[in-house]
């Protein structure tokens, strides 16, 4: 991972290439002209490198798709076998030559298979990190900082007010409630890719070994995760009778918390696992009795620590609260700019709250 010093603090790069020539924002997404590919394109392109399988980053309809095997599997689960013309799985750390650049994937710690993409040419190193978090998650490989000249970071929780805390404490809170109300079902709203499985894994790590019930919409992805991490006994909620659901934990997509589906459960306690639950008004708005602050995105401390760990002298900020992070970088003497990329965050499950934070 060691890189020769290829830039100096004045921002002049040795070698001939400027970062914007290596990676440039376009309406289809970040484009690498010398490598003839896009990163997480929002429109169909000939060759796409995909950081992870959330639907705002991984869309169907591209020509060739390069990603980790897990990301490709998850895209196949969601979109069917014909989601791309061709696919190429890439292992973490494996260098791949694409035209005039070398790319490699490095763990992002966001969801199963998630990767940061390192793009190298003429000694210049640019990392597009997709979404990432730097806290332990039993369901995926931990985030690995990659030394680079330019680091591209998301900013979903890019405000100092966001500090997620320890997810294990949130799980303890949930288990206390289950202990207090053994006759009630606990329904946990959790996004279907990543969060749902992480909540199950965290419950298992906390010693909860009863069957966990799943809404049908989270079943396929959870069964796939279960090939990679032990999730214990899983049952479909629709197959259970009401008496079994007293005292049970049920994982469902957030939208199911308030729809007809939830009425079948005995006197349910509604919980929601999301970084947005830090904002109490948001939990109240949604009628959430038990907010669980569990996020698959870095909080403010995580974002700033990751930026520092890369050693990058230039930071590009995409989707989320871009301005605050750009400002923070500049106060640290780093060159920084918002990319104002369109199309990210809308479908990324956990980024749903973005509209209320956008400038
Ligand atoms: Zn994501
Ligand atoms: Zn995202």
- Residue 296 CA: which ligand is closest? 1
pLDDT, position 270: 95
Name, in order, each residue with C-beta under 8 angstroms of 13's C-beta and a sequence gap of 6 or more. Answer: 6, 7, 19, 123, 124, 149
Per-residue pLDDT for the chain (359 aa), expressed as one digit of tens each?
Answer: 344 444 444 444 555 789 999 999 999 999 999 999 999 999 999 999 999 999 999 999 999 999 999 999 999 999 999 999 999 999 999 999 999 999 999 999 999 999 999 999 999 999 999 999 999 999 999 999 999 999 999 999 999 999 999 999 999 999 999 999 999 999 999 999 999 999 999 999 999 999 999 999 999 999 999 999 999 999 999 999 888 899 999 999 999 998 888 888 889 999 999 999 999 898 998 899 999 999 999 999 999 999 999 999 999 999 888 999 999 999 999 999 999 888 887 544 554 443 333 22
Residue 53 C-alpha to ligand 1 middle, in angstroms?
7
- Residue 52 CA: which ligand is closest? 1
| Contact assessment for residue 136 and residue 142, using Cβ atoms and an 8 Å cutoff | yes
- Residue 344 CA: which ligand is closest? 2
For 75, other C-beta atoms within 10 Å of its C-beta total 24
Residue 56 C-alpha to ligand 2 middle, in angstroms?
6
Residue 88 C-alpha to ligand 2 middle, in angstroms?
22
Residue 128 C-alpha to ligand 2 middle, in angstroms?
12
- Residue 343 CA: which ligand is closest? 2
pLDDT, position 15: 59
The string of DSSP codes covering 40-90 is: S-SS--SEEE-S--STTT--S-EEEEEE-HHHHHHHHHHH-TTSEEEEEE-
Q: Which two tokens stand for residue 234?
A: 């899983």
Residue 132 C-alpha to ligand 2 middle, in angstroms?
9
The dihedral through the CA atoms of 343, 346, 351, 353 has a sign that is: positive
Residue 296 C-alpha to ligand 1 middle, in angstroms?
8
Please state the φ and ψ torsions of residue 87, each to the nearest 5 degrees: -130, 150
Residue 297 C-alpha to ligand 2 middle, in angstroms?
9
pTM of the model: 0.91
- Residue 194 CA: which ligand is closest? 1
- To which residue do tokens 């750390």 refer? 93
Residue 268 C-alpha to ligand 2 middle, in angstroms?
31
pLDDT, position 350: 53
pLDDT, position 359: 26
CA–CA gap between residue 218 and residue 224 (Å, rounded): 10
Residue 161 C-alpha to ligand 2 middle, in angstroms?
19
Q: Which two tokens stand for residue 150?
A: 């330019």
Residue 110 C-alpha to ligand 1 middle, in angstroms?
7
Residue 348 C-alpha to ligand 1 middle, in angstroms?
5
Residue 350 C-alpha to ligand 2 middle, in angstroms?
8
């Amino acid at each position: 991972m060691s890189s020769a010093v290829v830039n100096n603090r004045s921002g002049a790069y040795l070698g001939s290439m400027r970062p914007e020539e290596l990676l440039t924002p376009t309406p289809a997404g970040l484009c690498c002209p010398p490598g003839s590919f896009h990163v997480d394109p929002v429109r169909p392109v000939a060759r796409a490198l995909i950081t992870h399988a959330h639907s705002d980053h991984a869309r169907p309809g591209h020509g060739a798709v390069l990603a980790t095997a897990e990301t490709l599997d998850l895209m196949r689960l969601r979109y069917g076998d014909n989601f791309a013309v061709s696919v190429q799985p890439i292992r973490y750390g494996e260098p791949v030559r694409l035209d005039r650049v070398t790319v490699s994937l490095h763990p992002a710690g966001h969801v199963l298979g998630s990767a940061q993409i390192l793009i190298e040419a003429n000694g210049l190193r640019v990392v597009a990190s997709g979404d990432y978090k730097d806290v332990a998650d039993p369901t995926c490989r931990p985030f690995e900082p990659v030394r680079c000249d330019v680091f591209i970071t998301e900013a979903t929780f890019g405000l100092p007010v966001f500090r997620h805390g320890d997810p294990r404490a949130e799980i303890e809170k949930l288990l206390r409630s289950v202990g207090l109300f053994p006759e009630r079902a606990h329904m946990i709203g959790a996004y279907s890719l990543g969060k749902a499985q992480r909540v199950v894994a965290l419950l298992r790590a906390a010693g909860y070994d009863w069957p966990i019930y799943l809404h049908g919409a989270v079943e396929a992805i959870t069964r796939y995760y279960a090939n990679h991490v032990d999730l214990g006994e899983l049952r479909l909620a629709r197959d259970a009778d009401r008496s079994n659901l007293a005292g049970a934990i049920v994982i469902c997509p957030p939208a199911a918390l308030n729809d007809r589906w939830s009425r079948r459960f005995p006197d349910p306690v509604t919980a929601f696992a999301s970084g947005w639950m830090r904002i109490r008004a948001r939990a109240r708005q949604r009628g959430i009795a038990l907010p669980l602050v569990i996020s698959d995105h870095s909080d403010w401390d995580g974002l700033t620590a990751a930026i520092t760990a890369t050693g990058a002298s230039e930071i590009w900020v995409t989707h989320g609260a871009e301005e605050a992070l750009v400002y923070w970088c500049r106060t640290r003497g780093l060159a920084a700019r918002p990319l104002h990329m369109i199309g990210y965050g809308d479908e990324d499950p956990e980024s749903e709250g973005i509209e209320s934070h956008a400038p």
